[in-house]
Amino acid sequence: MSTLIATTNLKKHYQMGQTLVRALDGVSVTIDEGEIVALVGPSGSGKSTLLSLFAGLDQATDGTLNVFGQNLAAMTGADLCLHRRRNVGVIFQSFHLVPTMSALENVALSMMFAGVPRAVRDARARTLLESVGLGARQNHRPRELSGGEQQRVAIARALANEPRLILADEPTGNLDSRTSREIMDLLTALNARERKTIVFVTHDAPLAARYAQRTIALFDGSLAVETGV
């Protein structure tokens, strides 16, 4: 397998008042194409920070970060925007759906920003919603959908521009145990069917053990232990 993500001594520090917060403090990891990897650890350990750096939503203070062979630290804001649009699908714990838009419109939105013609993006959005079991709910707005359904819309949206890398920040954090299993089964099916690389953040160790091929545990911004290597 080829290496998709590689970090060396990656750091993210920021100032909070008089305190220097070391959100990440020298993390070196590699993630191969086609893997399912869980980032685990207590609150404040740096899991979501690391995921945000992978996504190009934030930039490191120091160290190296290569994703798809590109040095994200050397990218301009415009380059990072293209990285997010073309290479990465992000799934947020809070879904981040546009409340005034239907499920179909939410999924089509990122394709609109990518310049995909409307007829093409609407057709693909319908196909994606059907693939996550929401073909009959495509015209419903977020408030008319359950938490699990909203997360399925978020997954379909993350897949809209056909990314090779899916990053999920606590994708089951707001869901009950049954719906959590359904969402994780959906993500692992994507990995098996399309070889999507999936990195997900979770505080749920049993869930990580069940679904991840490898677990990276963080503590106080540093790599604590890796399992399943």
| DSSP secondary structure, 79-143, as one string | HHHHHHHHHEEEE-TT----TTS-HHHHHHHHHHHTT--HHHHHHHHHHHHHHTT-GGGTT--GG
For 165-194, the pLDDT digits (tens) are 999 999 998 889 899 999 999 999 999 999
How far is the CA of 22 from the CAs of 48, 58, 218, in angstroms? Answer: 13, 15, 13
CATH of the domain at 201: 3.40.50.300
Reading the block at residue 188, the tokens are 């692992």
Report the pLDDT averaged over residues 36-49: 93
Report the pLDDT averaged over residues 89-96: 90
Query: What is the distance between the alpha carbons of residues 186 and 104, in angstroms, rounded to a whole number?
Result: 19
Report the pLDDT averaged over residues 133-146: 96
State percent of the chain over pLDDT 70.
Answer: 98
57 is a domain residue: yes
53 is a domain residue: yes
Least confident of 6-20, 177-191, 215-229: 215-229
Average pLDDT, the chain: 92
Report the pLDDT averaged over residues 50-73: 92
Query: What letter would DSSP give residue 201?
Result: E
123 is a domain residue: no
Query: What is the distance between the alpha carbons of residues 179 and 148, in angstroms, rounded to a whole number?
Result: 6
11 is a domain residue: yes
115 is a domain residue: no
pLDDT at 113: 86
Torsional class of 108: left (φ above 0), alpha (ψ -120 to 50), beta (otherwise): alpha
pLDDT at 187: 94
139 is a domain residue: no
pLDDT band at 48; cut points 50, 70, 90: very high
CB 195 within 8 A of CB 32: no
Res. 229: pLDDT tops 60:
no
Query: What letter would DSSP give residue 130?
Result: H
110 is a domain residue: no
Report the pLDDT averaged over residues 193-218: 93
What is the span of the domain harbouring residue 60? 3-96+163-227
**Which of 58-62, 67-71, 100-104, 215-219 is most confident?**
100-104
Count other C-beta atoms under 10 Å from residue 74's C-beta.
10
Q: How many domains does the chain have?
A: 1
pLDDT at 110: 87
pLDDT band at 124; cut points 50, 70, 90: very high
pTM: 0.92
104 is a domain residue: no
Report the pLDDT averaged over residues 95-116: 94
